[in-house]
Structure 1
């Protein structure tokens, strides 16, 4: 059996042999934790049920109530799922996080802390820390797999589409329409720093004007459904369009290009999807990836390891180099933490050297003023 399909939990195997009073309090804790996540945290039922199964699996393995567990118990459980069950590393970390999240809740819960202290003269402690938990793959290693385009590479990428559009028109190729869509689609992904799914999920109704930028017309903001966190569903955010050359492209696409996709008899004229396939249906991630690879080939960039997600990294890198604040990029990308946004920034040696010289010169100037 493949490692990625191994499961640590089996709901039929939970049998915890502890005193009835302890079992009742434990069940109350787990139930309250589930209610918190499903209610105020708005997490998905599937995610909550999965984590609850892991928590029960852990407690069944150690045969203790949560407040009696020790870090040694947690270590023994980790050894069992890792070395004996040979669960994949990413899954191990997910299970560890499930236990950590539960303990975070009951440690911070005044009611449960008081109940355990009153009945058993104990305090609930957090068992899982970054010291005994599998670390994330180093963020820099992960981002190296998704490099940013240099300015020259990006110009080559967009320029290759323009060249192919001219060629397709000249030879009356069926690629002509697709390439025109591709230019708008991939430039939109760059300017709006969109994920693949966010781009594919755009609708005609996703765009609205920005009162402060009336010259952008109907394309001042885009409403985007992005990834949630820690089991929550997709989250909506407003993405500001901040490049003056994108609104005219979007308007051109909507009025001149997109209608041509809906002219075939089988197409739904009421289709709301913004970017369409040759069949007049919503663009899917697989088709987007295929078109991206094709254009990389036209641009001579196939060997550089680029994927569509690199366009998000490219926006962040170019924005940083231009002096845009990290907080602005964080909000635009829909990141919860600025540290995540920082890993999307791939500033080259020239930028680093320029900033070092600027900073050093400012110190020299200040010292000179003090003399």
Structure 2
């Protein structure tokens, strides 16, 4: 496992222990129901987040109660009792469908995206004209929002981009050296390294945005990272998310269903609405299965479109053949 994964799961165990105020060898199913009942009703955690908590705790209790490791005998000798498994199917969240996102989450409309990008550009000009510091960070964040949409990227994929991750597409030379974007830190499977993929540039304005950023925004920083932070490291998600939320508030857009991932949702949705082949969009998004891309798909697939078209044509044909006047 990654060290971040280990640390996160250890925090889940500590939080549970602090909440129930009992050591693991005194945990019961009642503690499980009380703790996660509070997380659902008070903190309103999503189904997938609850499942991540419970999965980590289930792994922990399986470990400490497994006789192969001997912790049960140690606890019995020292405390007169031993830990046991208290997380079961009947008191934990189950994973029964592929998509577990909140229903409120949605893509941007084209008009909303245009307003957002224009507002981000105006913010850069406003800060620069005032002579204050921060115009470069605002410019960087504006470009990050545009690039995230241009290639349908997750945030972790976006923050790891480097200047060497772009290449010419021989079949679309109008994009110059930004015809292909190499994603090296794609979403990985369990116990696997990041999954790389290549995403083709599809929007005419993308190359210009990147060229201007490299020439006038990023400058001559001694780092290969495309979007370095002020201290030279990688951008953290909260930094870009705070700016996005502030822009949405200033524009009067409801931010409850919009987030950074909405840019990725928008990319898939807009390509499909524009008539791009669903299989091409699937490859661009890095989805192994078409059903995953279908989560983002707000338009019908070819089969349903063909069926609808045939039905409409048949209905129209019957209407044209129908006799007029008093004839039946």
Fold similarity call, TM over 0.5: yes
Q: Does 1:326 align with 2:278?
A: yes
Query: What is the distance in 2 between the residues matched to 1:370 and 1:336?
Result: 47
Q: Structure 1's 313 and 258: CA in aligned 2 closer, same or farther, altered over 3 A? A: same
Superimposed CA distance per residue, residues 239-263 of structure 1 (whole angstroms, 9 cap, x where no aligned partner): 1111010001101111211016x3x
SS in 1 for 2:219: helix
Query: What is the distance in 2 between the residues matched to 1:151 and 1:355?
Result: 26
Q: Does 1:239 align with 2:191?
A: no
Q: Structure 1's 143 and 356: CA in aligned 2 closer, same or farther, altered over 3 A? A: farther
Q: Structure 1's 298 and 230: CA in aligned 2 closer, same or farther, altered over 3 A? A: same
Superimposed CA distance per residue, residues 240-290 of structure 1 (whole angstroms, 9 cap, x where no aligned partner): 111010001101111211016x3xxxxxx1x11111222233222232222
Query: What is the distance in 2 between the residues matched to 1:159 and 1:176?
Result: 15
Query: What is the distance in 2 between the residues matched to 1:180 and 1:203?
Result: 17
Contact kept, 8 Å, 2:105 with 2:256, in 1: the verdict is: no
Following superposition of structure 1 onto structure 2, how do residues 82-231 of structure 1 map, counting pairs within 5 Å? 82=88, 88-89=92-93, 93=94, 134-136=95-97, 139=99, 142=101, 144-224=103-183, 225-231=185-191
Please point out which of 76, 81, 106 is paired with 2:87. Answer: 81
Contact kept, 8 Å, 1:204 with 1:272, in 2: the verdict is: yes
Q: Structure 1's 215 and 300: CA in aligned 2 closer, same or farther, altered over 3 A? A: same
Unaligned runs of 5+ in 1: 16-52, 54-78, 94-133, 263-268, 349-353
Superimposed CA distance per residue, residues 141-176 of structure 1 (whole angstroms, 9 cap, x where no aligned partner): 625242111122111211211222232233223232
Displacement of 1:326 in angstroms is 1.5
Contact kept, 8 Å, 2:245 with 2:255, in 1: the verdict is: no
Query: What is the distance in 2 between the residues matched to 1:360 and 1:176?
Result: 56
Contact kept, 8 Å, 2:150 with 2:202, in 1: the verdict is: yes
Contact kept, 8 Å, 2:179 with 2:201, in 1: the verdict is: yes
SS in 2 for 1:227: coil
Contact kept, 8 Å, 1:196 with 1:288, in 2: the verdict is: no
Superimposed CA distance per residue, residues 305-336 of structure 1 (whole angstroms, 9 cap, x where no aligned partner): 21101111111111111111211111111111
Query: What is the distance in 1 between the residues matched to 2:275 and 2:102?
Result: 21
Q: Does 1:362 align with 2:323?
A: no
Query: What is the distance in 2 between the residues matched to 1:182 and 1:359?
Result: 47
SS in 2 for 1:317: helix
Query: What is the distance in 2 between the residues matched to 1:168 and 1:358?
Result: 52
Q: Structure 1's 12 and 81: CA in aligned 2 closer, same or farther, altered over 3 A? A: closer
Contact kept, 8 Å, 1:274 with 1:282, in 2: the verdict is: no
Q: TM-score, normalised by structure 2?
A: 0.66
CA RMSD of aligned residues (A): 3.2
Q: Structure 1's 230 and 278: CA in aligned 2 closer, same or farther, altered over 3 A? A: closer
Following superposition of structure 1 onto structure 2, how do residues 344-355 of structure 1 map, counting pairs within 5 Å? 344-346=296-298
Query: What is the distance in 1 between the residues matched to 2:175 and 2:117?
Result: 21
- Which runs of structure 1 show a deviation greater than 3 angstroms over 4 or more consecutive aligned residues? 354-371
Q: TM-score, normalised by structure 1?
A: 0.59
Tell me the matched-pair count: 249
Q: Structure 1's 184 and 303: CA in aligned 2 closer, same or farther, altered over 3 A? A: closer
SS in 2 for 1:303: coil
Q: What residue in structure 2 maps to residue 311 of structure 1?
A: 263
Query: What is the distance in 2 between the residues matched to 1:359 and 1:300?
Result: 42
Query: What is the distance in 1 between the residues matched to 2:311 and 2:162?
Result: 48
